Structure 1
């Protein structure tokens, strides 16, 4: 399996383990070291995901059938982008939660107070705190304040990722059933790497870079759903290159449509627009952070799969 080239370069209205949505409450990803510049980064991050998703699948359809699938998918994605009610809804507590997490003065009790307003989010936090990764004593953790202190910053960031991504993650059945879990894993890795790159290289807001990665991941899930439906309609898979091109090109555009519908800042919209630019020198700092982190995450996933198979 050919790896992608190695990496070479939140809210403002102003070996890591492979993690699936089902495992997310027990295994948050670890931070990723990002130490090099984005100027010559291999921008193609989608090929590795499609290659993993195609493992064990039937031979792709002919070029003619592939072209039909691409046309079907593109029409579906246009409807997503042009019809706001078809886009994922913003989690109700996302603004308050992101604002509180981004406030250095906010206490654990204040963070817990925001989470407590969403029963599902509170349940996720308690499940995470009681997982083997965090629990240090036999007695269960049942207090949200204590759970916040126990899981720390990375655990809370994962909780935000779950709040944003999980409502649209499910995609049962079909030839591409593995793709949503791969996108979830890739999005978490990308968010961590983008945050570190934004903070240490671009001197940008790490939380904004994380949210940018989550928005692109949401777009990728919408692409995966459109691909699944088109494959079912046409009775097979498009060639891998075409599927990767759709994922690479449409994910940030759909992420931008979500960001616009959610009323997010122009900085975030521009960071997603930047993903269509070939020269990273012409991107904003947030755009470069995402452009650098996404292929890095894909390469890390492919490396982990090779290591597991060895």
Structure 2
């Protein structure tokens, strides 16, 4: 490499570093002000979730609210009749029957899952499509794992655990969406891996808080990728998210493809919960079918 090429490379490297720093700074300012900007499709589905916050809403009112979002309504019917939730007997043939079967917590979670899927498919994330797709699949598999762990090993509500697993990496989704506004990051999509590794957890916690997610969900996502002593028994939602994230693949499975999935702590957890792995895999595939 001649001196001119070295100078150009240095300039590009400096520009990349500057835009990395600027993006993190801009996101921090947005979260501090509460001015979080998402695509219209995400906002619409999230507003639906907010409208359903009252646990005492009658089924008829929930149905009328949900019916205003045809995509959410369609997915609720599909989910209610999927292998994940279909009860014995007749299938749910209308929205009221689907909501009755699923419950309001799962209706809210479904709205959020659809919002995340719409975000992933937005044109803003096209340059990062490989990362976004891997992240989406990892989020669904973690949700399947947290649901199974809660159901089999704790008395924690499995729908709450599913929600925590689904949103545990929402900070990474948001970083990918925001990165589209920085040219140096767009032309070097692999550079986002390093940035996400460093910041997605803390940004995710602040983002979930800014979006008004329940405190127990926000707290459960804190340091979910940071190694910790293995609990002898699963006692908290944070334990469920931590272990579910591991069972979904590895820490940062979608970032570190070179990580040995059977190494160290990961191998121990997969052996300990081996009986759940087929169910997790099957449920994750079912979720992909429903939400795709």
- TM-score bin (small chain): 0.5 to 0.7
Q: TM-score, normalised by structure 2?
A: 0.58
Give SS of 2:23's match. Answer: helix
Shift of 1:196: 1.9
Say whether 1:223 aligns with 2:223: no
The match for 2:95 is 144
Q: Distance in 2 between matches of 1:63 and 1:202?
A: 49
CA contact (8 A) 1:216 1:251 kept: no
* Alpha carbons of structure 1 residues 298 and 70: separation in structure 2 relative to 1, 3 Å: farther
1:58 aligns to what?
Answer: none
Aligned to 1:256: 205
Which of 81, 84, 87 is the matching residue for 2:34?
84
CA offsets 1:35-69 (integer angstroms, 9 cap, x no match): xxxxxxxxxxxxxxxxxxxxxxxxxx976565344
Aligned to 2:23: 73
Q: Per-residue deviation at 1:76? A: 3.1
Aligned counterparts of 2:221 and 2:159: Cα–Cα separation in 1: 15
Point out the structure with max Rg over C-alpha: 2
Could you tell me how far 1:279 is from its partner in structure 2? 1.5
Per the normalisation by structure 1, the TM-score is: 0.55
Q: How does 1:211-290 map to 2 (within 5 A)?
A: 211-230=163-182, 232-233=183-184, 236-237=187-188, 240=190, 243-275=192-224, 277-280=226-229, 285-290=236-241
Instruction: Write 1 or 2 for the structure with the bigger share of helix.
Output: 2
Q: What are the residue-to-residue correspondences of 1:79-118 with 2, within 5 Å?
A: 79-87=29-37, 91-94=46-49, 97=52, 110-111=58-59, 113-118=61-66
Q: Gapped runs of 5+ residues in structure 1?
A: 1-60, 135-140, 305-310
Find 1:181's aligned residue among 127, 130, 133: 133
The aligned length equals 230
**Structure-2 separation of matches of 1:162 and 1:154:** 12
Shift in Å, 1:84: 0.9
The reply on whether 1:196 has 2:148 as its aligned counterpart is yes
**2:73 aligned partner:** 125
